[in-house]
A and B are shown apart, each in its own frame.
Chain A
Amino acid sequence: MTARNTLALTVAGLLLMAGPVLAQPTEIRIGVALEPPALDPTAGAAEAIDVVVYQNVFEGLVRIDQTGAVQPGLAESWTISDDGLTYRFALNEGVTFHDGTAFDAEDVKFTFDRLLAEDSVNAQKALYEPISAVTVIDPMTVEFTLSRPDGLFLFNLGRGDAVIVAPESAENNGAEPIGTGPFAFIQWDRGSRVVLEQYGPYWGEAPALTRASFVFISDTATLTNALLAGDVDGTNNFAAEALAVFENNVQFKVLVGSTEGETILSTNNRKEPFTDLKVRQAMAHALDRQEIIDGATYGYGVPIGTHFAPHHPYYLDLTDTYPHDIEAAKTLLAEAGYADGFSATLKLPPVAYARLSGQIIASQFAEVGIDLELINMEWAQWLEDVFANKDFDLTIISHVEPFDIGIYANPDYYFGYDNPEVQALNETLNATTDEAERLALAQEIQTIIARDAVNGYMFELAQTGVWNAKLDGMWQNAPVEGVVLRDIHWVE
């Protein structure tokens, strides 16, 4: 070996060692806090699943764009019958699954038959229950028949829960996902990362990235170091308390956007003393939203006065319904017969926003005489106690489903709000397709639940992404769960 070769090899070796600094301009490594338990978005609720595969590996008939609007996906166009009960989709030609099998109307039918089957384990099955039949008209045309009109039907088709899967591969999608998306699954080093690579025969426009890894880093300090050292190129949602590290660093950009997460002090409306409207109103007056936002989200949350996302066109600002007013709260409590206050428990799931808000609310409530006992719980326990068994007084939780005001029309839901007026309005809303009418109905429901102080409405959870300054095309807002790679690219 000549001296020159040796030198070249040494230099190459040094360059390899400096790898993170000279990352390939078509590759990306994204740090995410949670590892998905499996990779099938149609068989689990974990957001971490959608983060990796939604719109990357799997696609639906339609897709949600970053404004939350519905765009054509595997269906290039559709027509809706006048009664809103029949949707006919024209499918794109030349679409293949990553295992090479062709996509056609039979796959669509298979997907929804599986989703709606008796033994379906789809986490959002209820959203698709209006579907009464899926009919294959020809290989490139499929028709959905609904049992009742559903204003959210198209949006729901764009969710991760309704991505199209193939009968040949559906069973193994948890470990080896096979979809039609621009990226194919390559490998999953469990506990470490998932690697995706651009799928050559993709039917649509090829993305700029050729390879993407999702690296699982749960510890905030560790993720900070990995970003600073260039071992990862970005993260879609970084802990607010540590954002300051990146805000003034020119090598990074911080993207603050909104999510679909209404964070509420959820109140058990079945239980004394919360059955009393005056008590709930008093609690609403006792809450100081700004203090909670500053303390629990480091100022990144957006105040809400009802159960609706502030970025949505239907949103109505009702934050002044019950302004922060200690005296008013005390008066209402006295009128309700609790002049000396009362004691209650506040069950907190293991997320920072809940644990931090919980402590702040406890001190705010103490000022009006409500004594809260804070109980920290794990997720599994919270789901069982609070959600399934409804054994709670108060809890704090972010409701991350898009357009989920319908939960106020379900008296069996965990917070147990039973108001026939809202139930009737919601039914009309579901069956209405006219935008103006839908807006009026949605706002009426928002107003009623705000006035009834069903829950303590606190803030909309922010999405705070940190990315290498040379990256572009990331979603700032999160109208659906997912880190969509389609438009991400390096710029010089």
Chain B
Amino acid sequence: MGVDFDMTFFLVRRMAGFAATLFIAALVIFLLLDLLPGDPARFILGINATPEAVAALRTQMGLDAPAHERFLAWVGGMLVGDFGLSTTQRLPVAELIAERMAVTLPLSLIAMVVSVVVGLPIGILAAMRRGKATDTALMVLAQTGVAIPNFWFGMLLTLVFAVTLRWLPTGGFIPWDEDAGAAMRGMILPGLALALPQASILARVMRTALVDVTEQDFIRTARAKGMTKSEAIWRHGVRNALLPVLTILGLQFAYLIAGTIIVENVFYLPGLGRLIFTAISERDLVLVRGATIVLVVVTTATMLVVDLAYAFVDPRLKGREA
């Protein structure tokens, strides 16, 4: 009974926090964008437009209403899934974002998978060989991986695999329904470019966490029971070291969804980052705030999931909070 109550209370608290975060984020986004200098209508029509034409477009775009009315209309619309119409493209914002997600989501997933597949084993290997030459070499590699900017790594990949060898395209994106193979081929180089720093970070976190764990009593007990060091680390260490790795993974996923803009530019991919960037420079405020709020939702939701996962994995955390 008590446990259930704790859990319900914990969940309600978390969900309320989630909702509050979203509301505050929406308010901040709206206010900041409203303060931004630059008239969207003037931007669309350019320097030779008559003031009447600009005024007509402002009215058409609904920019004449007072700020609080526009804010309430926006939030109210979002609650029923209506994100409004993009001011420059005249299309539903939700549709535009969904289109871009078809690129950004798979790209982020590929980068995540690659970074986990590459990063974790390197971290584990380094921890097992702690202090040895392998460890040093791997950690120098990981440090380099963190230091190399991913757009530069992306250009290097392009030069080798696209310009010189011509195995893969230099960039661009063919829609999945048109040619899934071509779409996938277009994801390989950017996926690798994105994965490099992530894998390096994961390797370092994994190594540190594992080294910490191996110094704890239960590993010594396992060793005392006759396990070799590797056996003890594999059987007991890795699972326990995964907690901090999980946190980092959550953060990385949120970062990948929002932070792919530079790589998207290098590979001219129609992802969410580029959508937001273009929308800001074109003063498409409806689109910017819609896309930003989606990012806020993704980030906070990821954090919520990580938090909940924690609570289930380690009930002590829940108790501490309640």
Which residues from chain A sit less than 8 Å from chain B, CB to CB? Answer: 17-18, 20-21, 35, 37-38, 43-46, 118-127, 174-175, 189-193, 215-219, 221-222, 225-226, 228-231, 350, 378-381, 383-385, 387-388, 401, 414
Q: Is the CB of A222 within 8 A of B265?
A: yes
Known: A192-B172, A388-B42. A216 touches B268 (CB 8 A): yes
Q: Is the CB of B39 within 8 A of A380?
A: yes
- Does B275 touch A at the CB level, under 8 Å? yes
Across-interface contacts of A118 in B (CB, < 8 A)? 52, 56
Q: How far is the CA of A189 from the CA of B274 in the complex (A)?
A: 13
Q: Is the CB of A229 within 8 A of B166?
A: yes
Q: How far apart are B120's CB and chain A's nearest CB, in angstroms?
A: 32
Known: A38-B88, A225-B163, A378-B281. A384 touches B38 (CB 8 A): yes
List 9 interface pairs A-B (beta carbons < 8 Å), by A numbering.
Answer: A37-B89, A38-B89, A46-B44, A120-B53, A221-B155, A222-B267, A222-B268, A226-B268, A379-B43
Known: A35-B278, A401-B48. A120 touches B56 (CB 8 A): yes
Q: How far is the CA of A306 from the CA of B158 in the complex (A)?
A: 45
Query: When each residue 250-283 of chain B gets 1 if its CB lies under 8 Å from chain A and 0 otherwise, what string results?
Result: 0000000000000001111111001100100111
| Complex partner residue of B37 from A126, A216, A228, A380, CB under 8 angstroms | A380
Residue of A nearest to B51 (CB): A388
Q: How far is the CA of A192 from the CA of B282 in the complex (A)?
A: 17
Q: Is the CB of B48 within 8 A of A124?
A: yes
Across-interface contacts of A215 in B (CB, < 8 A)? 172, 268
Q: Is the CB of A383 within 8 A of B268?
A: no
Residue of A nearest to B169 (CB): A231
Q: How far is the CA of A385 from the CA of B275 in the complex (A)?
A: 25
Q: Is the CB of A191 within 8 A of B271?
A: yes
Known: A123-B46, A380-B43. A174 touches B275 (CB 8 A): no
- Does B167 touch A at the CB level, under 8 Å? yes
Q: Is the CB of A192 within 8 A of B166?
A: no
Known: A121-B60, A192-B268, A226-B171. A175 touches B89 (CB 8 A): yes
* Contact residues on B (Cβ < 8 Å of other chain), bracket: 35 or more
Q: How far apart are A412's CB and chain B's nearest CB, in angstroms?
A: 10
| Complex partner residue of B166 from A21, A44, A125, CB under 8 angstroms | A21
Q: Is the CB of A20 within 8 A of B166?
A: yes
Q: Is the CB of A45 within 8 A of B163?
A: no
Q: How far is the CA of A216 from the CA of B96 in the complex (A)?
A: 17
Across-interface contacts of A174 in B (CB, < 8 A)? 89-90
Across-interface contacts of B268 in A (CB, < 8 A)? 192, 215-219, 222, 226
Residue of A nearest to B47 (CB): A387
Q: How far is the CA of A379 from the CA of B280 in the complex (A)?
A: 10
Q: Is the CB of B42 within 8 A of A190?
A: no
Q: How far is the CA of A191 from the CA of B102 in the complex (A)?
A: 12
- Does B40 touch A at the CB level, under 8 Å? yes
Q: Is the CB of A122 within 8 A of B89?
A: no
Residue of B nearest to A227 (CB): B170
Q: Is the CB of B56 within 8 A of A192?
A: no
Which residues from chain B sit less than 8 Å from chain A, CB to CB? Answer: 36-40, 42-50, 52-53, 56-57, 59-60, 88-91, 96, 99-100, 103, 155, 158-159, 162-163, 166-167, 169-173, 175, 265-271, 274-275, 278, 281-284
Q: How far is the CA of A350 from the CA of B278 in the complex (A)?
A: 13
Known: A37-B284, A124-B49. A222 touches B89 (CB 8 A): no
Q: How far is the CA of A192 from the CA of B171 in the complex (A)?
A: 10
Q: Is the CB of B44 within 8 A of A37?
A: yes
Q: How far apart are A188's CB and chain B's nearest CB, in angstroms?
A: 10
Q: How far apart are B290's CB and chain A's nearest CB, in angstroms?
A: 14
Across-interface contacts of B44 in A (CB, < 8 A)? 37, 43-46, 121, 123
Q: Is the CB of B49 within 8 A of A222?
A: no
Q: Is the CB of A175 within 8 A of B170?
A: no
Q: How far apart are B264's CB and chain A's nearest CB, in angstroms?
A: 8
The 7 A-B pairs with the shortest beta carbon distances in the complex, nearest first, are A45-B46, A191-B270, A380-B38, A37-B88, A192-B270, A380-B283, A123-B45
Q: How far is the CA of A392 from the CA of B49 in the complex (A)?
A: 20
Across-interface contacts of B46 in A (CB, < 8 A)? 44-46, 123, 383
**Which of B36, B37, B57, B170 has most chain A Cβ within 10 Å?**
B170
| Complex partner residue of B281 from A21, A216, A231, A380, CB under 8 angstroms | A380
Across-interface contacts of A120 in B (CB, < 8 A)? 53, 56
Q: How far is the CA of A20 from the CA of B57 in the complex (A)?
A: 42
Across-interface contacts of B60 in A (CB, < 8 A)? 119, 121
Q: How far apart are B285's CB and chain A's nearest CB, in angstroms?
A: 10
Q: How far is the CA of A388 from the CA of B47 in the complex (A)?
A: 8
Q: How far is the CA of A46 from the CA of B49 in the complex (A)?
A: 12
Residue of A nearest to B181 (CB): A16
Q: How far apart are A416's CB and chain B's nearest CB, in angstroms?
A: 14
Q: Is the CB of A222 within 8 A of B43?
A: no
Q: How far is the CA of A380 from the CA of B269 in the complex (A)?
A: 24
Q: Is the CB of A125 within 8 A of B50?
A: yes
| Apart from A190-B275, A231-B169: 16 A-B pairs, beta carbons within 8 A | A20-B166, A37-B44, A37-B284, A46-B46, A121-B56, A122-B49, A125-B53, A126-B49, A216-B268, A217-B268, A219-B265, A226-B170, A226-B171, A231-B172, A384-B39, A385-B37
Q: Is the CB of B166 within 8 A of A45?
A: no
| Complex partner residue of A228 from B36, B50, B163, CB under 8 angstroms | B163
Q: How far is the CA of A414 from the CA of B172 in the complex (A)?
A: 40
**Which of A122, A190, A384 has most chain B Cβ within 10 Å?**
A190
Q: Is the CB of B48 within 8 A of A123?
A: yes
Q: Is the CB of A121 within 8 A of B53?
A: yes
Q: How far is the CA of A395 from the CA of B269 in the complex (A)?
A: 34
**Which of B45, B99, B175, B267 has most chain A Cβ within 10 Å?**
B45
Residue of A nearest to B155 (CB): A221
